[in-house]
Structure 1
Amino acid sequence: MTSRVLLVSPAMSASLRQARFDDGGSIEDSGAAQARSAAGSLPSAARVLVSPSVRCRETAAALGLDGPAPQELAGLDVGRWRGRTLEEVGAVEPAEVGRWLTDPACAPHGGESVRDVCERVGRWLDGVRDADGRTLAVVEPEVVRATAVHALGLPATVFWRLDVPPLTVTELSGRAGRWNLRLGHPLAG
């Protein structure tokens, strides 16, 4: 049996556009319109899941999707950096930002490390490996990155080198204990 997982990244939001750590803001009107125009272009799924963030819930709604929001699919917890831009944090805490971007075990913001999010998402992915039918999830870009790292057995140091554009689909298909990955194709709309 082949398992299939489709991960949809959220539509553009002000925080994504400004390289701001998620601040709970809504998606932009243009992003919502793009998602609405792509509604119906995704294949049917046995399971639909949504990251608990506002932008993922709004993107899912614009795509005509609804499902539970398991904590395993939450975005990276950046602690006290939430709502601030990388530039703002870097100006005040340059050494901490440098360590955080190069050491996956580091969490100077008081939240979750990159290694932690990769392990959390990896456990989720291992759990859906033997699920019947397709799993479709609207998730934060860092969840897509963590999935790719885990699925391919990559070191967590590559996490920040994986770009996940808004409203793209990353597909995983797995069988015999391994995953194949198709990265970031845009939603048809």
Structure 2
Amino acid sequence: MTSRITLISPAMNRSLRETRFDDGCPLDPSGAARAAAVAGSLRAADRVLVSPSARCRETASALGLSAVVEPELAALDMGRWRGLTLDEVMGREPDAVMGWLTDPDAVPHGGESVRGLCERAVRWLEVAGGSEGRTLAVVEQEFVRAVVVSVLGAPGAAFWRLDVAPLTATEVSGRGGRWNVRLGRELGDGSGGGQR
């Protein structure tokens, strides 16, 4: 049995524009409009899931998806850095930021490590991979990174080398724990095949 999982990154919001650790900010008008413009461009799925974050839930809604909130798909827990911009944290704690960006086990913010997020992504993939049919999930960019790093068996440091643009699809397919990845397809580019 081949499992097919499509991960959709959320539309643009103020936090993404400002490089701010998610603060529960809603989509901005341009992000919501862009998501609404590509609604209907996704293949039908047997399961539609969404991260608990506001921007993921609003993206799913703008895409016309009736999604179930899945706590395992949550964003990286940024602890006491939540709501701050990267520049603000860098100004206050430059050594902590540099350690966090170079050591996948670092948790200077008191939240979750990159390695912890990758391990959570692997656990979720094991469960999702056991389901027949297609799974579609609207998830934060860092969750997409964690899946790709884990599927490819890349070192944790590779997490920071992956860019995930807003409103793109990353597709993972495979069987028996062996996965293939198709990265960064822009929604509405015509290759999604429309609703089926």
Q: CA deviation at 1:99?
A: 0.3
Give the equivalent residue in structure 2 for 1:116.
116
Q: Could you list the runs of 5+ residues in structure 1 that have no partner in the other structure? A: none
How many corresponding residue pairs?
Answer: 189
Give the equivalent residue in structure 1 for 2:66.
66
Kindly report which structure 2 residues correspond to 1:103-182, keeping only aligned pairs within 5 A, or say none.
Answer: 103-182=103-182
Structure 1 consecutive aligned stretches of length 4 or more whose deviation exceeds 6 Å: none
Q: Once the two structures are aligned, what percentage of the paired residues are identical?
A: 62
For 1:172 and 1:86, locate their aligned partners in 2 and report how far apart those are by CA, in whole Å. Answer: 30
Give the equivalent residue in structure 2 for 1:97.
97
Give, as a single letter, the amino acid of the residue that structure 1 aligns with 2:67.
G
RMSD: 0.9
Determine helix, strand or coil for the equivalent of 2:68.
Answer: coil
For 2:155 and 2:174, locate their aligned partners in 1 and report how far apart those are by CA, in whole Å. Answer: 20
Determine helix, strand or coil for the equivalent of 1:154.
Answer: coil
TM-score norm. by structure 1 comes to: 0.98
TM-score norm. by structure 2 comes to: 0.94
Deviations 1:50-104 (A, max 9, x none): 0000000000000011222121100000000001000100000000000000000
Give the equivalent residue in structure 2 for 1:86.
86
Give, as a single letter, the amino acid of the residue that structure 2 aligns with 1:124.
W
Give, as a single letter, the amino acid of the residue that structure 1 aligns with 2:16.
L
Contact 1:172 1:179 in 2 (8 A): yes
Q: CA deviation at 1:26?
A: 0.6
Give the equivalent residue in structure 2 for 1:187.
187
For 1:155 and 1:163, locate their aligned partners in 2 and report how far apart those are by CA, in whole Å. Answer: 16
Q: Which has the higher mean CA deviation after the structures are superposed, 26-35 or 52-61?
A: 26-35
